Amino acid sequence: MEEFKDKVVVVTGGSRGMGKEIVLAFAERGAHVVIASRKIEACEALAEEVRSRFGVRALPVACNVSDWDQCDALVDAAHSEFGRVDVLVNNAGLSPHYPSLVEVSEALFDKTIAVNLRGPFRLAALVGHKMVESGGGSIVNIGSVEAIRPSEKALPYAAAKSGLHILTEGFAKEYAPTVRVNTVQPGPFLTDISENWADGARKELEAVVALGRCAEPAEVVGAVLFFSSSASSYSTGAVLRVDGGWR
């Protein structure tokens, strides 16, 4: 995938978990990366790692995507540093635990929607508009199987991810034909975050996956690279399930 060399890629939630794996994959292929996350120290550490390992430029940015102004500041920072954005990966996500549906607080509900839906909306609007002006690009949203197979344990999150499907198709129409917008919809996957799952959670998840296992990060990252590259040049407004055959 030589076509990523010297491209500029923004990844939200990029300092850990799947976001970190996505950053590393693009950097390994020669892309310059903007690593956005709430904790600047983690962003800075990963930025230093990709600079030393891959010889690319890396910009760490503290950004809580639930904050409208911080989304604007992230886009401004990326364009100030690089002059353009070729790929935006809306990866930042949040799925808080709660005792029961009736005990979901207004604050928890609003926070979940803000991180998983409002942030991707604002970033796609800003970045997509600038991509059109500069000749094109690709926006990849990271969804969830919860959007089509909702659990009572994560219903606000599932609703937000379902809304992401609507944004995907709407932005794809608005910014066509030069900007493509697609969603990768993963099932359970194994990163550093999964190491903190509750006892028995992995076994429970794998019991409802046709392939009988959780995904390795590269299996999800591959779909992100696909939608970011010319290999998917006739795909926009699409949702790709990468869930192992969730039943």
Active site residues: 157
Give every strand in the sheet of 137-142, ordered side by side: 58-62, 32-37, 8-12, 87-90, 137-142, 179-186, 239-242
Nearest-CA neighbor of 65 among 87, 42, 92, 41? 92
Question: DSSP for 101-159?
Answer: GGG--HHHHHHHHIIIIIHHHHHHHHHHHHHHHHT-EEEEEE--GGGTS--TTSHHHHH
Instruction: Tell me the C-alpha distance between 211 and 228, whole Å.
Output: 26
Instruction: Tell me the C-alpha distance between 205 and 122, whole Å.
Output: 32
Instruction: Tell me the C-alpha distance between 14 and 123, whole Å.
Output: 15
Nearest-CA neighbor of 129 among 117, 120, 137, 119? 137
What is the residue whose two structure tokens read 């760490």?
60
What token pair was written down for 72? 């604007």
Backbone phi, then psi, for 202, in 5-degree steps? -65, -45
Instruction: Tell me the C-alpha distance between 9 and 228, whole Å.
Output: 9
